[in-house]
């Protein structure tokens, strides 16, 4: 696991966007795993800028969201497929038909979940999966004690996650759905490159537990310790409880320019 510590979230965006630029140069029909929430917005903004100013193209790409609320009406502004189109894919040259998310309105949610895993496999698997981290260490909507080998499935959100997300629902926690479909930890681990971002003091404990603590379903993002190509990009606040920060900074500074993350 590579840990990159940057002064501010703004400093993370070009480093992560470089990984996309490199991927798309080598593989224009890349498969991107996309995350919602506030954390990845700076990276999406940088990718949109590169599209508009530098011609970075997503025309041949397909994307798969990490998760979706169950039961939000189609087109609800906080539905995650709507969110990702608004915040990212509609602002670049992504074909809207190639932007996917789990179907939280399916009659048969279990089938929708296993179909989603299969669709990712059929697309050839995810090249870069971008991830945020929850304050309790959750990854996608894999809450603490999620199976470390879980597949896409139905999950119940913790009350903490619902209250954290109430800010997207005018502060009304009751408006936040109670259930979701989420890629499992086993699904996420199949992505060829996992990039997890964490910003702010409220992520510091989760980052420390998941990066330097024991592998445990209590801290679901700790599963990334087993990933052959995982990059964790954190700002100084989110890094504030890490113990090996000096080593991470030296290592990143010492990398050859061509290597990237």
Q: Return residues touching ligand PGA (CB under 6 A).
A: 37-39, 132-134, 138
* CB proximity list for 66: less than 8 A, separation 6 or greater: 33, 34, 35, 36, 80, 129, 131, 140, 141, 182, 183, 188
Rounded least distance, CB 164 to ligand PGA, Å: 6
Rounded least distance, CB 255 to ligand PGA, Å: 26
Q: Give the β-pairing of 153-156 and 99-100.
A: unpaired
Rounded least distance, CB 93 to ligand PGA, Å: 25
Residue closer to ligand PGA, measured from CB, 37 or 101: 37
Cα 232 to Cα 228: distance, rounded to the nearest angstrom: 13
Rounded least distance, CB 201 to ligand PGA, Å: 12
Residue closer to ligand PGA, measured from CB, 94 or 199: 199
Rounded least distance, CB 39 to ligand PGA, Å: 3
Sheet holding 2-6, edge to edge: 2-6, 230-235, 193-198, 128-131, 31-34, 62-65, 99-100
Residue closer to ligand PGA, measured from CB, 24 or 139: 139
Q: What tokens appear for 116 in the block? A: 């989603």
Rounded least distance, CB 32 to ligand PGA, Å: 17
- Cβ(135)–Cβ(210) under 8 Å? no
Nearest by Cα to 137 from 195, 217, 220, 204: 220
Cα 201 to Cα 237: distance, rounded to the nearest angstrom: 5
Residue closer to ligand PGA, measured from CB, 101 or 134: 134
* CB proximity list for 154: less than 8 A, separation 6 or greater: 70, 109, 110, 113, 179, 180, 181
Residue closer to ligand PGA, measured from CB, 51 or 138: 138
Residue closer to ligand PGA, measured from CB, 38 or 149: 38
Query: Residue number with the shortest CB distance to ligand PGA?
Result: 37
Q: How far, CA to CA in Å, does 149 sit from each of 71, 74, 129, 146?
A: 26, 30, 17, 8
| DSSP code of residue 73 | P
Cα 78 to Cα 36: distance, rounded to the nearest angstrom: 10
Rounded least distance, CB 50 to ligand PGA, Å: 21
Residue closer to ligand PGA, measured from CB, 79 or 134: 134
């Amino acid at each position: 696991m590579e840990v990159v510590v940057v002064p501010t979230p703004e400093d993370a965006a070009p480093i992560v966007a470089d990984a996309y630029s490199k991927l798309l140069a080598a593989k224009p029909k890349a498969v991107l795993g996309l995350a919602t929430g506030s954390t990845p917005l700076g990276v999406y903004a940088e990718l949109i800028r590169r599209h508009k100013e530098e011609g970075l193209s997503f025309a041949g790409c397909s994307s798969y969201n990490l998760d979706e609320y169950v039961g939000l009406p189609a087109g609800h502004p906080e539905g995650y497929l709507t969110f990702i189109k608004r915040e990212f894919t509609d602002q670049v040259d992504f074909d809207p038909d190639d932007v996917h998310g789990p179907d939280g309105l399916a009659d048969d949610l279990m089938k929708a979940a296993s179909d989603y895993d299969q669709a990712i496999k059929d697309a050839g698997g995810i090249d870069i999966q971008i991830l945020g981290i929850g304050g309790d260490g959750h990854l996608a909507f894999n809450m603490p004690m999620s199976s470390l080998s879980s597949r896409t499935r139905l999950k119940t959100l913790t009350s903490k996650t619902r209250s954290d997300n109430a800010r997207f629902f005018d502060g009304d926690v009751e408006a936040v759905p109670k259930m979701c479909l989420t890629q499992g930890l086993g699904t996420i681990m199949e992505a060829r490159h996992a990039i997890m971002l964490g910003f702010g003091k409220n992520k510091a404990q989760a980052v420390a537990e998941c990066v330097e603590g024991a592998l445990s379903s209590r801290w679901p993002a700790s599963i990334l310790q087993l990933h052959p190509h995982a990059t964790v990009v954190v700002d100084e606040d989110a890094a504030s409880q890490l113990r090996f920060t000096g080593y991470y900074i030296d290592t990143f500074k010492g990398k050859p320019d061509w290597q990237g993350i």
